[in-house]
Amino acid sequence: MSDDSFQRDVLDELGDGRLQEIADALGTDTTAAAAVVGTSVSTLSGELQDAAEAPGQADEVRDAVGELTEPPLQGAVTLGGGLGGGLMAGVLARLARPAAAAVAKRTGMPAATVGKAFELLIPVVLTVLSRRAANRRSAGASPGTPGASGTGVGDVLGDLLGGGRRKP
């Protein structure tokens, strides 16, 4: 798997309708919007991996990844739909601003415009991460909080993001 596969999964999950929404938010066509989505997903993935290694943020990211990779609770407590992602949604939302600023700088688009695209993109990224975590569990990957049994959060994130552990 590669970072491209994660981008492809996000684009597939977006579908034509939501990609058109992003194109409209950006004031462009769907081809250009798809390119911005690819850049945005790559940048957000990098921000997430950087946060996983940053003092003061690593614990939050580890807990968020652990929440995604743990088997869901059974019974009435799964009323939220079973996708989880509560902690990860917060982490992604926090990382969206610097990622959007980086994408805006790279593309020359206004940061506020790219930010609107990120608002549409974050729930889709969360869905893809949650689906990949579920697939990882069903494939027999060791569950549990990253770091608890020798598996680093960077390794687990690399698996979820499709690029392996990012080199510093």
Q: 24 lies in which domain range?
A: 3-73+80-161
Q: At what angle do helices 30-53 and 58-69 cross, to 10 degrees?
A: 110
- Of 120, 54, 63, give the one whose Cα is nearest residue 90: 63
pLDDT of res. 163 = 57
Residue type at position 132 = R
pLDDT in tens, the chain (168 residues): 445 789 999 999 999 999 999 999 999 999 999 999 999 999 999 999 999 899 888 899 888 888 887 765 554 444 444 444 588 889 999 999 999 999 999 999 999 999 999 999 999 999 999 888 888 777 765 544 444 444 466 677 777 777 544 433
Does residue 144 lie within any of the structural domains?
Answer: yes
Does residue 148 lie within any of the structural domains?
Answer: yes
- pTM confidence score: 0.79
pLDDT tens, residue by residue, 58-90:
899 888 888 887 765 554 444 444 444 588 889
pLDDT of res. 111 = 93
Give the pair of three-digit tokens for residue 106. Answer: 């790279």
Contacts with 115 (C-beta within 8 Å, 6 or more apart), sequence order: 96, 97, 100
Q: How many domains does the chain have?
A: 1
In terms of phi and psi (left: phi > 0; alpha: psi -120 to 50; beta: otherwise), the region of 166 is: beta
Does residue 54 lie within any of the structural domains?
Answer: yes
Does residue 125 lie within any of the structural domains?
Answer: yes
Give the pair of three-digit tokens for residue 59. Answer: 């614990």
- Of 36, 49, 42, 86, give the one whose Cα is nearest residue 64: 86
pLDDT of res. 56 = 87
Please state, in angstroms and rounded to a whole number, the distance separating the CA atoms of residues 53 and 165.
11
Give the pair of three-digit tokens for residue 78. Answer: 């799964």
pLDDT of res. 97 = 93
Give the pair of three-digit tokens for residue 6. Answer: 């994660």
Please state, in angstroms and rounded to a whole number, the distance separating the CA atoms of residues 59 and 25.
34
Does residue 167 lie within any of the structural domains?
Answer: no
pLDDT of res. 30 = 96
162 DSSP 8-state letter: T
Please state, in angstroms and rounded to a whole number, the distance separating the CA atoms of residues 16 and 20.
6
Does residue 168 lie within any of the structural domains?
Answer: no
